[in-house]
Amino acid sequence: MTKAPVTVTVTGAAGQIGYALLFRIASGALLGPDTPVKLNMLEIPQGLKAAEGTAMELNDCAFPLLSEINIYDDANKAFDGANVGLLVGARPRTKGMERADLLQANGGIFGPQGKAINDHAADDIRVLVVGNPANTNALIAAASAPDVPASRFTAMMRLDHNRAIAQLAEKVGAPVADIKKMAVWGNHSADQYPDVSYATVAGKPAADLVEAAWLDEYFVPTVAKRGAAIIEARGASSAASAANAAIDHVYNWVNGTPEGDWVTAGVASDGSYGVPEGLVYGFPCTSNGGEWEIVKDLEISDATRAGIERNIKALEEERDAVRELGLI
């Protein structure tokens, strides 16, 4: 029997990540090669014309799995019946903008989108927030969707996770496929703590293969500041790698993580590792093909503890700021 199409809503569909993401969703990379997709694209009015151009190109690909394309500038319509929501469109920080202004502007986007999800999405809705500040935007969207379990609102830490794997693979001269159990704790910001404590390279502890000084002085800052380095080199922020990470996150959420490995996902804390409940925080996670589960009871070194605490502080500050603004 042919499967019913899964409705995937992408916000910021006419942006640079949108352009790198939509074709892969339509090709089957997001949900698997047997799952037809109905694509709902959400844009602001100024973005609609470009979204139409992208929709024309999607048509021209004649993807067998793409059952329908719709373009909206109304979140209530775009999320109607949505099973997966990729919240990419966000207000970037511009010159002279204070952090509170940025949080306020994004609250004006992620609050109403959370409410639209609450009121119109399918019961099995799964949301990945990509737009920055991703962790706190996910918190805002979740707070505006009281009827949807908070566990369904996640933030993208997978690009950080993939960047960390790539850096370690290059250092030790191993294929990326040999690297398991990488972790990136905390916030998708320069505060994040990429951690090789549990990582293995072809079964050997990664920590035995690299020097402590390389980890502290090169690995952690290189991964944490990679977004800025890409902007410096490309003149624009990461787009294809961000789209790829979004695909990886949702694919593993829906289809499960590989046996003997985990990935990093930004999920609502259940209090694990002393992270206050409810903060959307990067943890090592597995999925059984439906729900993320935080990997529990890992032994935490002093360095990891310091990284975890730094990120708790940063995310609590963001949470308190949006609370003061009345956004959560």
Ligand X SMILES: NC(=O)C1=CN([C@@H]2O[C@H](COP(=O)(O)OP(=O)(O)OC[C@H]3O[C@@H](n4cnc5c(N)ncnc54)[C@H](O)[C@@H]3O)[C@@H](O)[C@H]2O)C=CC1
161 counts as catalytic = no
Is the distance from CB of 307 to CB of 185 less than 8 angstroms?
yes
State the nearest-atom distance from the C-beta of 47 to ligand OAA, in Å: 18
- Output the six-digit token pair for 141: 């969207």
Helix (H) or strand (E) segment spanning residue 292: strand 292-294
Our finding on whether 194 is near ligand X (CB under 6 A) is no
Instruction: Please check if 26 is assigned to a binding site.
Output: no
Q: Are 239 and 19 in contact (CB under 8 A)?
A: yes
Q: Which of 227, 266, 282, 284 binds ligand OAA (CB under 6 A)?
A: 227
Distance CA 115, CA 49 (A): 26
Confirm or deny that 132 is annotated as ligand binding. Answer: yes
For tokens 């191993």, the residue is 174
45-53, 142-150, 230-238, 247-255 -> range binding ligand OAA (CB under 6 A)? 230-238
Q: Which helix (H) or strand (E) holds 11?
A: strand 6-11
Choosing from 6, 8, 15, 140, the residue that interacts with ligand X (CB under 6 A) is: 15
The verdict on whether residue 32 carries a ligand-binding annotation is: no
Instruction: Indicate the residue among 134 and 294 with the shorter CB distance to ligand X.
Output: 134
Distances (CA, A) of 69 to 24, 26, 57, 134, 173: 14, 10, 11, 26, 43
Is there binding between residue 237 and ligand OAA (CB under 6 A)? yes
Name residue 147's amino acid: D
With CB cut-offs between 5 and 8 Å by kind, which of ligand OAA, ligand X, none does residue 167 bind?
Answer: none
Given the complex with ligand X, which of 20 and 148 has the nearer CB atom? 20
Taking the complex as a whole, how short is the minimal distance between the CB of residue 288 and ligand X, in angstroms? 24
Question: Cβ-count burial of 48 within 10 angstroms (0-12 exposed, 13-18 middle, 19+ buried)?
Answer: middle
Q: Which is nearer to ligand X, 38 or 188 (CB)?
A: 188
Measured from the Cβ of residue 3, the count of other Cβ atoms closer than 10 Å reads: 11
Q: Answer whether 38's CB lies under 8 Å from 3's CB.
A: no
**Cα 327 from Cα 294, distance rounded (Å):** 27
Q: How far is the CB of 192 from ligand X (least distance, A)?
A: 10
State residue 91 phi and psi, 5-degree precision. Answer: -90, 115
Taking CB under 6 A as the criterion, the residue among 48, 105, 207, 230 binding ligand OAA is 230
Name the minimum Å distance from CB 8 to ligand OAA.
22
Q: Is 132 in the site for ligand OAA (CB under 6 A)?
A: yes
Contact between 106 and ligand OAA by CB under 6 A: the answer reads no
164 binds ligand X (CB under 6 A): no
Tell me the window of 38-46, 97-105, 278-286, 314-322 that interacts with ligand X (CB under 6 A). Answer: 38-46
Beta strands in 31-83 (DSSP E): 37-42, 66-72
Cβ contact 279:316 at 8 Å: yes
130 binds, among ligand X, ligand OAA, none (CB under 5 to 8 A by kind): ligand X
The arrangement of strands across the sheet holding 153-155 comes to 66-72, 37-42, 6-11, 84-87, 126-129, 153-155, 263-268, 280-287, 292-294
Binding letters toward ligand OAA, positions 240-279, x by CB under 6 A: ----------------------------------------
Q: Is 104 labelled as part of a ligand binding site?
A: no
As annotated, the binding site includes 12-18, 93, 99, 106, 113, 130-132, 163
Site for ligand X, rule CB under 6 A: 11-12, 14-18, 42-44, 47, 88-90, 92, 109, 130-132, 134, 156, 159, 188, 237-239, 242
Chain contacts with ligand OAA (rule: CB under 6 A) = 132, 159, 227, 230, 237-238
Residues annotated in a binding site for substrate: 93, 99, 132, 163
